[in-house]
Amino acid sequence: MKYSQATDYALHAMCYLVATAPDNPLSVQQLAEKLGVSQTYLSKMLTKLVKAGLIQSMSGANGGYRLRRNWEDISFLDVIHAIEGTASLFECGLDHGSECLIQQIVTEAEHQMEQYLKNKKIHELAGQFMGMD
């Protein structure tokens, strides 16, 4: 069980966006170069972030991606959910008649993790993030 590399890229891309002045957008080309990944591949993840309402895209010359108004509220969990989906990471496949107690416990554990990720906002990192290459 592992988070996909796409989540890794998406989180880094979001950090770059937050660390950048919000008026001039970053193109997928610029972001891809910073992250060391192909443009076409990265664009898939950025599109997911757009559809999740986390960022905004603009076509045409001098276009690219930039933040939306609520950017200060965007959490790690928001980005992870946008890429990985929101399905529970444990679903009991056995057919016992009643509710699965094991499922309940593992789901609660997952909830603990999600709470932490929900309270960590991307912009908390942006300042320290500027220094990285």
Question: Which positions lie near a second copy, rule CB under 8 A?
Answer: 1-5, 7-9, 11-12, 15, 35-36, 76, 84, 87, 89-98, 101-102, 105-106, 108-110, 112-117, 120, 125, 128-129, 131-133
Q: How far is CA 123 from the centre of its chain?
A: 13
Query: Which one, 51 or 120, has the nearer CB to DNA?
Result: 51
The nearest distance, CB 44 to a second copy, in angstroms, is 16
Site string for DNA, 11-50 (x = CB under 7 A): --------------x-xxx-------xxxxx-xx-xx--x
Our finding on whether 57 is near DNA (CB under 7 A) is: yes
Distance CA 127, CA 130 (A): 6
Query: Which one, 103 or 121, has the nearer CB to DNA?
Result: 103
The nearest distance, CB 26 to DNA, in angstroms, is 7
Cβ-Cβ contacts under 8 Å for 10 (sequence gap 6 or more): 45, 46, 48, 49, 79, 82, 83
Residue with tokens 């990285």, as numbered in its chain: 132
Distance CA 85, CA 95 (A): 25
Query: Which one, 58 or 91, has the nearer CB to a second copy?
Result: 91
Q: Is residue 28 within 8 Å of 65, Cβ to Cβ?
A: yes
